[in-house]
Amino acid sequence: MTSSAPARTAIDIASAVRSAAIDPVAPTRAALSRIAQSDGELNAFTWVDDESALADAKSLESRPNLSELPMAGVPVAIKDNIDADHPVVTRLKAAGAVVVGYTALPECGIWPMTDNPERVTRNPWKPELSAGGSSGGAAAAVASGMVPVAHGNDGLGSIRIPAAVCGIFGLKPGAGVVPSEVGRTSWGGMVENGVLSSTVADAALALSVMAADPSLAVLSNPARLRIALDVSLPPMAMVRGDRHWRAAARVAGSVAVSAGHYVESAALPYPSMNATVIRWCAAAAKDAQGQKLRGLERRNRTHIRLGRLANALHLEGVSTANLEAAVAPFFERYELVITPALARNAPKAKHFSRTGWISNAWACRYAPLMGMWNILGWPAASVPMGRHPDGSPMAVQIAGPPGSESTILGLAAQIESRHPWPVVAF
């Protein structure tokens, strides 16, 4: 997966196009070529339109402000659960990005494994493993070098989980930073649109465009931070964490110390997983309100029925207000927290969609650490952190209170510079 050629990041591409060093069509042509070469194995994309993408790239030549466009000529992928006129898409295009296609997700975006009865999206580093989910197609597209940056969205870890297992950076912003508008209710307000990329700087650039906030693109070293390190798992029966993922979080803590920050061990007040599962089912049912279940995959019919039952019984699951009250004292002491991104490696790549709810829910045990930040509506990121002994990527999660996106990006960039990860050249 590594390449001896210099990595061409989104920032590199945009700079070259703005300065007329390369034709604005060239990066799109390269992306389409890579997709044609690699996607037959990985199944990252659901739809690619070469003609439309090349026409959009060609149209950049007539843009009078081409030299000012922050993402001039950058090929991007969009997760296939938002429309072509969604604010995220229109903002990316206005900034000069070229949409080359739409990426795969599991039906209804419910699961942290990306597959459907016909296709399984695979991990570029280890194709026998899942690419994660639900933004698994986006992660596979970036990790394989088909595109330098991709849009994703995250309801209980759906950006951060696939970013973690595919060895790339993924950021879910806090509520209100980027327009959500995913489905009927954005899973009761838990889903946020965000970004997956090979580098932190590329993520910051794309996020700044999606948020219409240029200040987010400016990476700066944060002043000395008080950072908590928590390697524990949320209370949940029959989950045993992999010590290598815990060790990765400790390494990240040491790197943060080397960057001048104060890091100490502390225990987050995680909500119970039982209550989180109720919230997960209930939120999906709200988005599916009025939808007939016939024709949906078996696992999703069960999931939505469970959610409808929870809603009928007025079972909220984890209350956002109660969780905020529990977490607030923790962040009076700390500015950010570092945790393992996952409890263990991704499951095998297979047709989970052909099996029932219980087997899918059992597979989800590898990713119990991310949901609380969606319930809170606070920002969180997945940062690559070395390799598991089996060769698959590992990662850590950095999270913080509302408004800490720039701080998270700054710390992630410091970790990237001191503990770099492999980047596939575009």
The amino acid at residue 419 is H
Name the nearest CA neighbour of 131 among 314, 345, 341. 345
Q: What is the DSSP string of 34-45?
A: HHHHHHHHH--E
Alpha-carbon gap, residue 331 to 278, rounded angstroms: 26
Query: What pLDDT is recorded for position 240?
Result: 81
Q: Which residues contact 173 (CB under 8 A, 6 or more apart)?
A: 192, 193, 194, 207, 211, 379, 405
Under 8 Å between Cβ of 227 and 410: no
Which pLDDT belongs to residue 6?
A: 45
- Largest separation between any pair of C-alpha atoms in the chain: 62
Active-site residues, by number, are 79, 134, 158
State the Cα–Cα distance between residues 203 and 170, nearest whole angstrom.
8
Whole-structure pTM value = 0.97
The per-residue pLDDT for 235 is 85
Of 385, 412, 387, residue with least CA distance to 398: 412
**H-type helices in 60-174, by residue range?**
87-94, 136-143, 160-166
Tens of pLDDT along the chain (426 residues)?
A: 443 344 589 999 999 999 999 999 999 999 999 999 999 999 999 999 999 999 999 999 999 999 999 999 999 999 999 999 999 999 999 999 999 999 999 999 999 999 999 999 999 999 999 999 999 999 999 999 999 999 999 999 999 999 999 999 999 999 999 999 998 899 999 999 999 999 999 999 999 999 999 999 999 999 999 999 999 999 875 678 999 999 999 999 999 999 999 999 999 999 999 999 999 999 999 999 888 999 999 999 999 999 999 999 999 899 999 999 999 999 999 999 999 999 999 999 999 999 999 999 999 999 999 999 999 999 999 999 999 999 999 999 999 999 999 999 999 999 999 999 998 866
**Would you give the DSSP letter of residue 60?**
G
What pLDDT was estimated at residue 237?
A: 52
Q: Evaluate whether the domain defined by 10-273+314-418 bears CATH number 3.90.1300.10.
A: yes
The pLDDT score that the predictor gives to residue 423 is 87
Give the span between the Cα atoms of 154 and 147, in whole angstroms.
20
Q: How far from each other are the two terminal CA atoms of the chain, in whole angstroms?
A: 12
Residue with tokens 């991709």: 150
Q: What is the pLDDT of residue 238?
A: 66
The residue extents of the domains of the chain are: 10-273+314-418, 274-312
